[in-house]
Structure 1
Amino acid sequence: MTAIVPKFVRGVVVLVLLGTLTMALPLLLTGNPAIAVLGTEATPEQLAAFTAALDLEASPPERLVHWLGRAFGGDLGTSLVTGLPVAEEIGSRLPVTLELLLCSQVLALAITLPVAMRSAWKSGGILDRIATLVTFVLISTPAFVLGVALILALAVGATVLPATGWADPSDPVAHLRHLVLPVLTIALTEAAVLTRVLRADLIATLGTPYILAARSRGLSSWRLLVTRALRPSSLSTVTLVGLGLGLAFGGSVLVETIFAVPGMGRLAANAIAARDFPVIEAIVLFSGTTVVLVGIVVDAVYGVIDPRAQHVPAR
């Protein structure tokens, strides 16, 4: 517990710096931010209302303090485009992105674990060579290119899945059909990276003396991999999974835009295009908080996987 306190303090410092930079975004616009957003034809009343709504007369640190005071009361501001509360906008989009994220991470791990373990056990074999080729291709392919390729293959060519759109969970079949392509796009990219990292760590672990001793006692390959080698080899994989979970809200912009998924990523893309600063500020701070909290959880998980990790001094 005491080891988490310094990490929590560092996380707070990071969030304060991130929040200050975020609150300075309107000031980066050329000239008066109100005129840059509303245009030169805006009336003085409209300019004054815009300035008051965004609290632009205050400095970025002051704006952050004011924003946090309202946020703790549940007020994240009002969207300049829709006129709806930002908390309501995020609340309607967050479940979609969470579902997309969790499904893709589960699928990525379901692909990674057996492929990485088999490749590490038979390093240099046919399956390992095929897995290496496929993972390198997936790693080098941008997510939007992979998404378009899946659309062409499964929606346009085979016509078995819808290309874009989203269906309400009240219709489970339609909902699952619309979920497949975006989940595949994220999961395949994640699985490629996780497989390469876990395979390398497993190969290193399999060469250690205690694993060689276990093999000499006749322990079966899968039992040896699962009970002896996987746990000490999974620290890097846990780190990447944690980073994927933390960065998903920002990284889902392309995938959600390609497949017209009404999640946090698409909300962020629309807000950036429309210069909807209240929405942008809320999403950036929400994503930053998520990254910090996931980082703290991942550090705690290290101690469960390998207690020695708790005693490694921070660098």
Structure 2
Amino acid sequence: MIAFLARRLLVLMLSLVVASLVVFTAVEVVPGNPAAFMLGMNATPETVAALQQTLGLGQPAPLRYLDWVAGMLRGDFGISYTYRTPVADLVADRLAVSLPLAALALALSAALALPVGLFAAARQGRAGDAVAMGAAQFGIALPNFWLAMLLVLVFAVNLRWLPAGGFPGWSDPAAALRALILPAVALALPQAAILARVLRAALIETMAEDYIRTVRAKGRSRTGALLAHGLRNALVPVLTILGMQFSFLLAGAIIVENVFYLPGLGRLIFQAITQRDLIVVESAVMLLVVAVILVTFLTDLAYALVDPRLRRAG
């Protein structure tokens, strides 16, 4: 187990180094001058050069990269070119919305997918299986931004049960959670459909194993064998999808955040790109990359807990 953890930690560190180089290089090669963009078309070259020097853009790229990485290791992500405030404060404010939204959407996705996947696998080839997988296929094909607008129309405009958009802040937790319910549902339903199909396929494959046939031969029902022995062994691909979904929900919710006017991290990155605020783009994207790599690392640890063969191999 120690060797397994050591290998995974080494891969994590190398991934972070490579990701930081890729993010910095990708942002640096984007055409356009942030200083010229901020000052407007009528700015003189001297004024643009002075602002570049103030923003630290006059240094060579390798020095800017090293300063950026060293600052992140200290928790200093730099100063936003546009807002003139620390990037760490901007990101922390937006994470206070995006992180609970992603967690709530992931919880809803798992809560919906687990019973549907179990139901379909227990009734393989029957009408219930066809109905459940047909509904899941429809959920996969459903665009989440269209679903978001439909939810607003039904539950906010017509029924007036939930707010149509905006975020009141966490000073009132009940109001904050009410503001996140509709966007979380819009994000969770397509992901739940994907997860349900993966769980069904994994369960059906597991139920064809020899040890399951042995359990069935001892008199255990199909449903009992599925719940007692099949579910745990089918969780490895499910954990993979859950890890990928959390990363997607955290980084890829920009469209839903714009539909509901949520001040999340995805919306911050979109605004920073349009404003040529490179330091915000670099830091926010790198933070998302770190989140993805950490989730992958935790998923690997979950594999080891679910499958003892990985611990023995380590």
Q: TM-score, with normalisation over the residues of structure 2? A: 0.90
SS at match of 1:169: coil
Tell me the CA shift for residue 46 of structure 1: 4.3
1:67-216 aligned within 5 A: 67-216=68-217
Distance 1:58 1:168, change over 3 A: same
1:39-50 aligned within 5 A: 39-43=40-44, 44-50=46-52
* Partner Cα distance (1:201, 1:148) in 2: 33
Tell me the CA shift for residue 221 of structure 1: 4.8
* Partner Cα distance (1:307, 1:83) in 2: 51
Tell me the CA shift for residue 145 of structure 1: 1.8
One-letter amino acid matched to 1:169: W
Higher relative contact order (CA 8 A, sep 6+): 2
One-letter amino acid matched to 2:60: A
* Partner Cα distance (1:189, 1:255) in 2: 13
* Partner Cα distance (1:174, 1:142) in 2: 27
SS at match of 1:145: helix
Structure 2 residue runs without a partner (length 5+): none
Answer whether contact 1:27 1:33 (CA < 8 A) is retained: no
Distance 1:64 1:8, change over 3 A: farther
Identity %: 33
1:232-311 aligned within 5 A: 232-310=233-311
User: Once structures 1 and 2 are overlaid, which stretch shifts more, 248-257 or 186-195?
Assistant: 248-257
Alignment deviations for residues 133-182 of structure 1 (CA, whole Å, 9 cap, x no partner): 11111111222122122222222333322221112333344323212111
Distance 1:172 1:40, change over 3 A: closer
Tell me the CA shift for residue 311 of structure 1: 6.0
* Partner Cα distance (1:278, 1:214) in 2: 58
Answer whether contact 1:93 1:264 (CA < 8 A) is retained: yes
Distance 1:311 1:38, change over 3 A: farther
Distance 1:190 1:54, change over 3 A: farther
User: Once structures 1 and 2 are overlaid, which stretch shifts more, 200-209 or 157-166?
Assistant: 157-166
Structure 1 residue runs without a partner (length 5+): none
Alignment deviations for residues 30-54 of structure 1 (CA, whole Å, 9 cap, x no partner): 5x55335543423424433334424
* Partner Cα distance (1:294, 1:21) in 2: 19
Answer whether contact 2:79 2:279 (CA < 8 A) is retained: yes
CA RMSD of aligned residues (A): 2.2
SS at match of 1:2: helix
User: Once structures 1 and 2 are overlaid, which stretch shifts more, 63-72 or 279-288?
Assistant: 63-72
Find the counterpart in structure 1 of residue 29 from structure 2. 27
Q: TM-score, with normalisation over the residues of structure 1? A: 0.90
Find the counterpart in structure 2 of residue 53 from structure 1. 55
